[in-house]
Amino acid sequence: MSNEAAIEVDQLVREFRKGPRAVDGIDLTVSPGEIYGFLGPNGAGKSTTVLMLTTLLPPTSGRATVGGFDIVRQGAHVREVIGAALQEAALDAILTGREHLLLQATLQGITGQDRQRRATALLERVGLSEAADRRVGGYSGGMKRRLDLALALVHSPKILFLDEPTTGLDIQSRTALWDEVGRLARDDGMTVFLTTQYLEEADVLADRIGIIDHGHIVAEGTPPQLKAEIGGPSVEVAPCDPDAGDRLAELLARFGDPRRNGHGTVTVQLPGGETQLADIVRVLDQADLKVETLQLHQPSLDDVFLAKTGRKLEGAAEEAEAEAESGGRRGR
């Protein structure tokens, strides 16, 4: 599959009986070895897409190939080349971490000593060697997620699906998982399809990002490309004297359209990028205007989401839930 896409999706649709189209004609291509971040709020269609691509949910229409295999007609082949850690770390609280791995390895056809050695190696890789023989019911959320990842890797898949792998984890566990996912793509050449509702996660991990909202992909590109699409960085200047706001706005007007934020603070977008920062400092100095703070803001993926959907990503989830609820009431 070296010359073909790892994942290719063409007009994929999933419609549920009493609801709207969860996924509404999406197209995307993921290259081998790439980390593709699928970013969107709850209810946007991320998990439904993953369930379809992992063959666990048949699409209503459209076509997709994973590892070169059709997800509908060649499901068994697809499952051979993928590993998946789905949204809930579906583990058996009564079994130990090692027992999970041995069961998974057996079902994947790994035999004899290889089974034990692979289980041990994977436990070590995800940092669970010490907890390997403890029941999973006593694991923390981060440990469960790491075990979930190890289980997805048992049969050395070429393509890894991670559905919101860090939801609910503390920052330490989240960072550890990011490191491991990064290593899988970088060192092992694994293709990773990662869904997330965390902007930072997509920004840090993904080579390319698809932003999904209401079942549609509303933007796609590398994080810098997406941010560049909505313009350059902005600078926010707060004068020492709040009454100097008008004068400050006048000075900054030569760089762009100044926006007053209260207490004399003025923000201006820099179409020329951060190189204009030096000019701003020079102009303020020459005008002898004393400045309390001067901050450069790079555009974030949240700005991209806002620009593409008219909403901030945080809060989009609540809105989606409210919509679903009112839709459900209408349905009844």
Partner 1 sequence: MAVDLAIEGLPARASSGGAGLLEQTLAVARRSAVRTLRQRGLLIFPLIFPLLLFGINGSSLSSATKIPGFPTHHYRDFLIAMPFIQGAMFVSITAGVDLARDIESGFLNRLALTPLRTEAMLVGQLGGAFVLGVVQAIVYLLVGFATGVTLVSGVGGALVLLALSILIAFGFASLGGLLALRLGRGEAIQGIFPLLFVTLFLSSSSLPRNLIQTTWFRDIATYNPVSYLLEGIRSLVITGWDGEALALGFGFATALLVITVLLSQPAMRSRLARA
> Is 119 or 237 the residue whose CB approaches partner 1 more closely?
119
Nearest CA to 106 out of 93, 119, 96 is that of 119
Note whether 106 binds partner 1 by CB under 8 A: yes
Compute the least distance from the CB of residue 90 to partner 1, in Å.
3
Binding to partner 1 by CB under 8 A, coded x per residue (else -) over 31-50, reads -xx-----------------
Q: How many CB atoms lie within 10 A of CB 174?
A: 20
> Is 116 or 300 the residue whose CB approaches partner 1 more closely?
116
Note whether 107 binds partner 1 by CB under 8 A: yes
Residue 251: enclosing H or E segment and its boundaries?
helix 245-252
> Is 137 or 271 the residue whose CB approaches partner 1 more closely?
137
Angle, CA of 128, 133 and 135, to the nearest 5°: 95
Task: Compute CA distances 95 → 98, 151, 177, 217, whole Å.
Answer: 8, 13, 22, 40
Applying CB under 8 A, the span of 107-115, 232-240, 276-284, 288-296 interacting with partner 1 comes to 107-115
Residue 247: enclosing H or E segment and its boundaries?
helix 245-252
Binding to partner 1 by CB under 8 A, coded x per residue (else -) over 66-105, reads -----xxxxxx-xxx-xxx-xxx-xxx-xx---x---xxx
- The residue type at 102: L
Angle, CA of 37, 42 and 48, to the nearest 5°: 70
> Is 57 or 235 the residue whose CB approaches partner 1 more closely?
57
Spell out the residues 6+ positions from residue 257 whose beta carbon is closer than 8 angstroms to its own.
268, 269
Cα–Cα distance for residue pair 196/87, rounded to 1 Å: 10
Note whether 275 binds partner 1 by CB under 8 A: no
Site for partner 1 in 139-198 (CB under 8 A): 151, 153-158, 187-191
Handedness of CA 47, 52, 58, 63 (dihedral sign): positive
Residues lying near partner 1 in the complex (CB under 8 A) are found at 1-2, 6, 32-33, 54-58, 71-76, 78-80, 82-84, 86-88, 90-92, 94-95, 99, 103-111, 114, 117-118, 121-122, 125, 135, 151, 153-158, 187-191
